[in-house]
Structure 1
Amino acid sequence: MMLSASLPGPIFRFGVAGKVDKKFKNLMDFGTPAAVINQKKRRLSLSPLMAAAALVKTGCSSPLKFYQEVLTAARTNFTQEISFQAKDKDISLAKTLLHISAEYEAFIAFNREMDASSFQNERKGSIVSSDVQDSKQMDSMLMAGKRIEEWLSELDAIAKEVEVELVSRDIGCHYIEVLEAVNKVLFESRGFKRSAVVDSKCSYLHSVLSSRCGSAILLSIIYIEVCRRLNLTILGSRVGEDFLIWPQTGNPEELFKVSSGHSLFGIVNGRCVDNPKSKASDLNSHSLLGLDIASNRDIIGIYLANLIRLHWKRASRTNHGLMLTSPLRPVDDDTTDGSSIPLLRPQDLRLAIMASEKLLILQPHNWALRRDHGMMLYFSRDYGEAVQELSICMAFAPEEEAEILEPFVEKLHFMRLESSWKSLGHKGRLTVP
């Protein structure tokens, strides 16, 4: 079973920019987890599925408002889970990703409800309100019929199956035997497999636990979470385009011993280890020790970057080859205005922006990420927010990058003014000097 994970291209870079001038530090305050938590402190105790139950019990007749509450609660809970005040080892990968799933499901449900409301409003003489929903549906729709706690229990159940497998073999608890049992339960008994096509259905944890078909990075995370429940620490690292995992051990040579044509390291990580074109194929017990170990925050960051790329590719599907940074180059062309922005699929573009917002909570000083976030806001025609993000980016970006951004941001200022001008009923265009 392949557990390699494709990583984002150059426009989705990791790491924190170098030293930042103190005068710009106040620009970043709003993006820190602590700031977000303080702004939404009153919602911290509200889990998305508890909100669903509360809606049903109180007889609330506004699903749109409910979904907005769930969106807010899911984002706040995500922020709390990965807060910089928490130790990295205390961050739950599974719980964090399930909060991301809850936000995704609430967003999809909100859009679906908006579409239903629009359809009913268009029907002549219709006075049926879309605010009335079946209570059973409301209580179960957000996470494929299960609460976050129930999806976490699903991982507990998988770990229990591994324990039963070990007992049935009447063997000890050496990590090699544990890994073999995990492989059997996950990939044989449970039938987990890597999806041939990476789409939304295999890119959210609850969907993968339900369908047992998922992206490589999610299968790696499930593997890590199951082993953690068995008191076996699994390490991970980015190697080229792959994300590789292996057990923490003082004797890495055992991982590379070939038995029946495969090493344990190869069985855990899949075909990428045997692919001569992959950097993973060059690894051995010595070079393995030299890899940079990914923290829990790093793994969440890799997952979110993959999510951004997935939704951006879907959003720009009708504009083949469109890059986020494409508009920065022909900035001197007078056609760079609101009417020349290519039309993108709005739902996927919004999902990409949502994933980018969460990644910025993890990496608030990542200038390249903030630039990409600002460009997505530009494509969604949120000119005011785009100007804000790109202006902050210029404070942290290398000088040559800031010089490219500056004329584009100036154009955005005028596009924002023109948009406001037209919203007041004025006709014609503002002249850009």
Structure 2
Amino acid sequence: MALISPTPSPSSLALSLSRTAGFRATDCPPFLRSNVQRDWNWRGNGKKSRHGFPSMASQSLNFETIPPCSSNAFLEVAKLAREKLKEEVSLRVKDEDISIAKALLYVAIEDEAILAFNGDEDACSFTEERSNQSTVHLDEVCIGGKSMSGWLSEFDVLTKEVEAELVQREIGCHVVQVIEAVNTVLFESRHFLRFPVLVDSRFSYLHHVLSSNCGTAIMLSVVYMEICQRLGVSIVGSPLGEDFLIWPHTQTPEELFKVSSGHSLLAVINGRCVEDPRSRASDLNSQSLQGLYVATNRDIIGIALANLIRLHWKRASKGNHGLMLISPLRSVNSKDPLLRPVELTLAIMAAERMLLLQPDNWTLRRDYGLLLYYARRYGEAAQELSICMAFAPVEEVEVIEPFVQKLHLLRQIYSLDLEPRHLASS
């Protein structure tokens, strides 16, 4: 769900939230596994280089005020990041006051801390520069070599580059010129590229997107919107099938469809998506555009989190061909699958954050409960699925209720330190 440069890239220029049918789980480098080595890395230009690349947490997380190898420090940082996210997306906060960039950076900090806690190779590479300070301050935690304020300032740097491009062209600040200048900086000067969600976990974390110039569609969309916001151009967006369109908020949407340099302004922002006859966006006009649902800041954060759930679940279940998240509800003779625990933890965390945004979403709560089941947290799974049944349709309740009863039995057996496999496979 992001804009794409009108210039060619290794992937489709259309904005797509979930178009990854051509990618298999085996195409995804398992860099989040602490015991897996990788001998390739994506450069900013999208090419591969043959050299080792440390895991996400090991290369980028740095606590400047905490003793080395402090597991409690990792957990404290994760807790602080979650609390900050709760504050940012709280229902008491107006949607327009929510910072999408801050929220996504809190997500990155929490995930990095949990990865470090789970024992990535360089998790002990932390330094204590101020030994007299025992508490953790989130604004001093660095990911990817920068603090949170440092990453936010990257948007200011990009904005200044766009302003310099406008001055160089000696043109005014009409919205068309601003959009063209943003495209020039992002996709011609900086060579930002879009990759599908399942290619690499890094492309779904904002700080990695800013450092590598590679990201998923939704993350590139966030970058675009943050820059335009600083330039005084309000950008809105809407999910449209598998695409996510963004455009300047305007009272005269018909201007978006006027041809400029052979393309409408909507096409300039969204790449070839609106000109591809296979895309639903190609049928848009000024009137139908007005009828689209405009995504809120919470919606955009939710889409990014949904991508993380999908990504980490795919990687967690990589060794179980055909395993679906809802398989335990539908299969009579299911067996306990062998899942990657760290990836499963990251999927659970993404679901927890998404529930902050959509607490009444029964489908999301069901999926969260099933993730807890796969993690063998049977009591919590039973609780979440019981809450889910209060919101779910009757036909879904009929499927979930027997499974909840099974979870209660599994919890009792686990509390006695017995092996529950005979029940899990019954």
Q: What range is the shorter-chain TM-score in? A: 0.7 to 0.9
Please tell me whether residue 245 in structure 1 is matched to residue 246 in structure 2. yes
Conserved 8 A contact 1:7-1:241: yes
Query: In the aligned structure 2, how far is the partner of 1:364 from the partner of 1:268?
Result: 33
Query: In the aligned structure 1, how far is the partner of 2:420 from the partner of 2:116?
Result: 37
Q: Which residue of 2 aligns with 1:220?
A: 221
Describe how 1:25-424 pairs up with structure 2 within 5 A: 52-55=63-66, 60-112=67-119, 133-135=126-128, 142-195=142-195, 198-330=199-331, 333=332, 335=333, 340-422=335-417
Query: In the aligned structure 2, how far is the partner of 1:273 from the partner of 1:223?
Result: 18
Conserved 8 A contact 1:414-1:432: no
Q: Deviations over 1:386-409 (max 9, x none)?
A: 011001111111111111101111
Conserved 8 A contact 2:363-2:392: yes
Q: Does the residue aligned with 2:83 lie in a helix, a strand or coil? A: helix
In structure 2, do the counterparts of structure 1 residues 147 and 247 end up closer, same or farther at CA, with 3 Å as the change threshold?
Answer: same
Q: 236-245 vs 317-326, which deviates more?
A: 317-326
Q: Offset of 1:214 from its aligned partner?
A: 0.4
Identity %: 55
Query: In the aligned structure 2, how far is the partner of 1:3 from the partner of 1:186?
Result: 16
Query: In the aligned structure 2, how far is the partner of 1:361 from the partner of 1:150?
Result: 26
In structure 2, do the counterparts of structure 1 residues 198 and 140 end up closer, same or farther at CA, with 3 Å as the change threshold?
Answer: farther
Conserved 8 A contact 2:312-2:347: yes
Query: In the aligned structure 1, how far is the partner of 2:184 from the partner of 2:296?
Result: 27
Q: Matched residue pairs, number?
A: 367
Q: Offset of 1:51 from its aligned partner?
A: 9.4
Query: In the aligned structure 1, how far is the partner of 2:18 from the partner of 2:238?
Result: 11
Conserved 8 A contact 1:202-1:215: yes
Query: In the aligned structure 2, how far is the partner of 1:430 from the partner of 1:404?
Result: 17
Amino acid at match of 2:228: C
Q: Offset of 1:289 from its aligned partner?
A: 0.6
Conserved 8 A contact 1:62-1:132: yes
Q: Offset of 1:428 from its aligned partner?
A: 10
Amino acid at match of 2:399: I
Q: Offset of 1:133 from its aligned partner?
A: 4.1
In structure 2, do the counterparts of structure 1 residues 190 and 299 end up closer, same or farther at CA, with 3 Å as the change threshold?
Answer: same
Q: Does the residue aligned with 2:337 lie in a helix, a strand or coil? A: coil
Q: Does the residue aligned with 2:320 lie in a helix, a strand or coil? A: coil
Conserved 8 A contact 1:75-1:99: yes
Query: In the aligned structure 2, how far is the partner of 1:253 from the partner of 1:428?
Result: 62
Q: Does the residue aligned with 2:64 lie in a helix, a strand or coil? A: helix
Q: Does the residue aligned with 1:237 lie in a helix, a strand or coil? A: strand
In structure 2, do the counterparts of structure 1 residues 257 and 51 end up closer, same or farther at CA, with 3 Å as the change threshold?
Answer: same
Amino acid at match of 1:350: T
Q: Offset of 1:274 from its aligned partner?
A: 2.5
Q: Offset of 1:272 from its aligned partner?
A: 2.3
Q: Please, which runs of 5 or more residues in structure 2 have no aligned partner?
A: 6-12, 21-59, 130-135
Q: Deviations over 1:369-396 (max 9, x none)?
A: 0000001111111111101100111111
Amino acid at match of 2:75: Q
In structure 2, do the counterparts of structure 1 residues 156 and 381 end up closer, same or farther at CA, with 3 Å as the change threshold?
Answer: same
Conserved 8 A contact 2:62-2:126: no
Query: In the aligned structure 1, how far is the partner of 2:226 from the partner of 2:258?
Result: 25
Please tell me whether residue 5 in structure 1 is matched to residue 12 in structure 2. no
Q: Offset of 1:296 from its aligned partner?
A: 0.3
Q: Offset of 1:247 from its aligned partner?
A: 0.3
Q: Deviations over 1:223-270 (max 9, x none)?
A: 000000011100100100111100011222222223443222112112
Q: Does the residue aligned with 1:238 lie in a helix, a strand or coil? A: strand
Bigger proportion of residues as helix: 1
Query: In the aligned structure 1, how far is the partner of 2:199 from the partner of 2:217?
Result: 9
Conserved 8 A contact 1:7-1:305: no
Q: Please, which runs of 5 or more residues in structure 1 have no aligned partner?
A: 10-48, 117-129
Q: Offset of 1:198 from its aligned partner?
A: 3.1
Q: Which residue of 2 aligns with 1:123?
A: none
Amino acid at match of 1:187: F
Pairwise CA RMSD of aligned residues? 2.8
Conserved 8 A contact 1:8-1:309: no
Q: Does the residue aligned with 2:328 lie in a helix, a strand or coil? A: helix
Q: TM-score of the superposition, structure 1-length normalised? A: 0.79
Q: Does the residue aligned with 1:396 lie in a helix, a strand or coil? A: coil
Query: In the aligned structure 2, how far is the partner of 1:319 from the partner of 1:431?
Result: 16
Q: Where in structure 1 do 4 or more consecutive aligned residues deviate above 6 Å? A: 138-141, 426-433
Q: Does the residue aligned with 2:318 lie in a helix, a strand or coil? A: coil
In structure 2, do the counterparts of structure 1 residues 73 and 257 end up closer, same or farther at CA, with 3 Å as the change threshold?
Answer: same
Q: Offset of 1:87 from its aligned partner?
A: 0.8
In structure 2, do the counterparts of structure 1 residues 381 and 428 end up closer, same or farther at CA, with 3 Å as the change threshold?
Answer: closer
Query: In the aligned structure 2, how far is the partner of 1:431 from the partner of 1:226?
Result: 51
Conserved 8 A contact 1:418-1:429: no
Q: Does the residue aligned with 1:319 lie in a helix, a strand or coil? A: coil
